[in-house]
Amino acid sequence: MAAISVRAVSHSFGLPGKQNRIAALKNVSFDVAPGEFVTILGPSGCGKSTLLNMVGGLLSPSEGAVQVDGTPVLQPLPERIAYVFQESTLFPWYTVEENFAILLRCRDVPRSEWRTRTLAALTSVGMQDFAGHYPKQLSVGMRQRINLARGIASDTDILLMDEPFAALDEQSRMVLGEDLSALLGRTGKTILFVTHSLAEAVFLSDRILVLSARPGRVKATVAVNEPHPRPPDFMLTSDFSELRNQCYALLRDEIRLAMAEAVA
């Protein structure tokens, strides 16, 4: 059974018939198998975050249905799905460590393990020295790393990640991407990932869904047949650049379309 199943989903924002009604997604269907890493690639504003919000149970589609483990998603499923948002959603009134405590309490982790679990998660993104800091004392990139670590610390089978590396420099992205690939090889999590980086998409994914300009449709699916964990050298292979170019070719027309529409 598919871990995530998106069936003929369309979504529009705004009231029907109103001028500001926006069709964000149009007839999107795909499945994500358990343990699979699927990346959604598409021009800005094509409905990627909207799609993730639906899988996360924060938004119900205007048409179609989303299922997780064969059950329709009607609300967030904290036991099954962790969601790393596009922007950091650390609670600004709590320190980094307190932010983790809120999560670990929800996950029924015994209090005695909170500190070790928090430090382990922070160490995995190189932020172990900042447990006592408040989010506003950190840079945007640091906050995003911690946000990512918090998502992984949820320890759910399914992870939704909306551009988790967007605010990071290219080198940090690469390093964290390698770590993520290693984690995936180890834990077999199901991941639905959104990125704008072609290299990141090819390096991490088992399958890449290329969406069209708004309203988003699945324009093409690109499979990456390379086992996890992937060594950094994978990026130097001809397979890698070929897949990357393939994605770019699929995307560039859509990006032009999206930009033309934005100007018009």
Ligand X SMILES: Nc1ncnc2c1ncn2[C@@H]1O[C@H](COP(=O)(O)OP(=O)(O)OP(=O)(O)O)[C@@H](O)[C@H]1O
Quick one: CA torsion of 241, 38, 190, 142, rounded to 10 degrees? 70
Q: Does 190 engage in binding with another protein (CB under 8 A)?
A: no
User: Do the Cβ atoms of 46 and 214 come closer than 8 Å?
Assistant: yes
Query: Is residue 140 part of the contact set for another protein (CB under 8 A)?
Result: no
- CB of residue 86 vs another protein: minimum separation in angstroms? 9
The answer to whether residue 131 forms part of the interface with another protein (CB under 8 A) is no
Find residue 41's DSSP bridge partners: 210
Pick one of 48, 145, 150, 173: the residue that binds ligand X (CB under 6 A): 48
What track of x and - describes contact with another protein for positions 141 through 170 (by CB under 8 A)? -------------x----------------
Determine the Cα–Cα distance for residues 23 and 13; give it in Å rounded to an integer. Answer: 6
Q: Which of residues 26-55 bind Mg ion (CB under 5 A)?
A: 49
Q: What share of the chain is helix, strand, coil (3-state, %, to 5)?
A: 40, 25, 35
Q: What distance in Å separates the CA atoms of residue 95 and residue 146, rounded to the nearest whole number?
A: 11
Give me the least distance between CB of 261 and ligand X, in Å please: 10
R_g of the chain, CA atoms, integer Å: 18
Enumerate binding residues for ligand X (CB under 6 A). Answer: 13, 22, 24, 42, 44-50, 86, 214
Residues that bind another protein (CB under 8 A): 53, 56-58, 75-76, 78-79, 81-83, 85, 87, 89, 91, 93-94, 102-103, 105-107, 154
